[in-house]
Structure 1
Amino acid sequence: MGLGVRSRLLHLKDFLWDWRLGVNTFGFSDSGVADGRPYSPASYRTLRQVFDCVGLGAEDVLLDVGCGLGRPVFFAGFRYPVKAGIGIDANRGFIEQARRNCDGFRGARDNLHFIECNAVQYDYSKATVIVMYNPFGADTLTKVLARIYESLQANPRPIKIVYLNPIEKAVFDRAPWLAKTAEFSPAQVPQLDIGNRRSYPKGQPAVVFYTSV
Structure 2
Amino acid sequence: MLWPLAIGAAYSPSSMKVVRKMLNMAEVDDEDVVYDLGSGDGRIVIEATQKYHAWGVGVEADPLRVFWSRLKIRKLGLQDQVKIIWGNLFHQNISHATVVILFLWGRTNENLKKKLQEELEPGTRIVSYVWKFKGWKPVKIDRKERIYLYIIGESDVPEDDFNHITHLL
What interval of TM-score do these two structures reach, taking the shorter chain for normalisation? Answer: 0.7 to 0.9
- Indicate the residue corresponding to 1:122 in structure 2: 92
Instruction: Name the structure 2 match of 1:94.
Output: 65
Change (3 A) 1:32 1:51: closer
What's the counterpart of residue 142 of structure 2?
Answer: 184
User: 2:166: which partner in 1?
Assistant: none
> Is the counterpart of residue 136 in structure 1 residue 105 in structure 2?
yes
Residue 158 of structure 1: how far off its partner (Å):
1.5
Paired residues in the alignment total: 153
**Residue 111 of structure 1: aligned partner:** 81
**1:212: Cα distance to partner?**
1.1
TM-score (norm 1): 0.66
Helix, strand or coil for the counterpart of 2:66?
A: helix
Q: Deviations over 1:28-60 (max 9, x none)?
A: x87643153221211112222221221112221
Measure, in 1, the Cα distance between the counterparts of 2:114 and 2:129. Answer: 19
Distance 1:30 1:185 in 2: 31
Q: Which amino acid aligns with 1:145?
A: K
Q: Matches of 2:139 and 2:4 in 1, distance apart?
A: 32
Partner of 1:150: 118
Mind listing any 5+ residue stretches in structure 2 that lack a counterpart? 154-169
Q: CA separation of 1:121/1:32 partners in 2, compared to 1, >3 Å: closer, same or farther?
A: closer
Q: What is the aligned partner in structure 2 of residue 61 from structure 1?
A: 33
Distance, in Å, in 2 between the alignment partners of 1:86 and 1:97 is 15
* Conserved 8 A contact 2:122-2:151: no
- In structure 2, the partner of 1:208 is 148
Amino acid at match of 1:210: Y
Structure 1 runs (4+) deviating above 6 angstroms are: none
Matching residue's letter, 1:126: H
The share of aligned pairs that are identical, in percent, is 25
Q: Are 1:173 and 2:145 an aligned pair? A: no
Q: Structure 2 vs 1, CA of residues 30 and 38 (structure 1 numbering), >3 Å: closer, same or farther?
A: farther
Give the CA deviation at 1:117: 1.3
Counterparts in 2 of 1:182 and 1:137: CA distance versus 1, 3 Å: closer
CA distance in 2, matches of 1:165, 1:56: 20
RMSD: 2.0
Given that 2:33 and 2:57 are in contact with CA atoms closer than 8 Å, whether structure 1 keeps it comes out as yes
Q: Which runs of 5+ in 1 are unaligned?
A: 1-28, 190-205
Q: 1:60-105: per-residue Cα shift (whole Å, max 9, x none)? A: 10000100111101111110021x1000011111111111111111
Per-residue deviation, 1:109:
3.2
Partner of 1:194: none
Query: What TM-score results when the alignment is normalised by the length of structure 2?
Result: 0.81
Supply the distance in 2 between the matched residues of 1:132 and 1:114 (Cα, whole angstroms): 15
C-alpha change, 1:124 and 1:96, in structure 2 (3 Å) is: same
The answer on whether the counterparts of 2:49 and 2:56 sit within 8 Å (CA) in structure 1 is yes
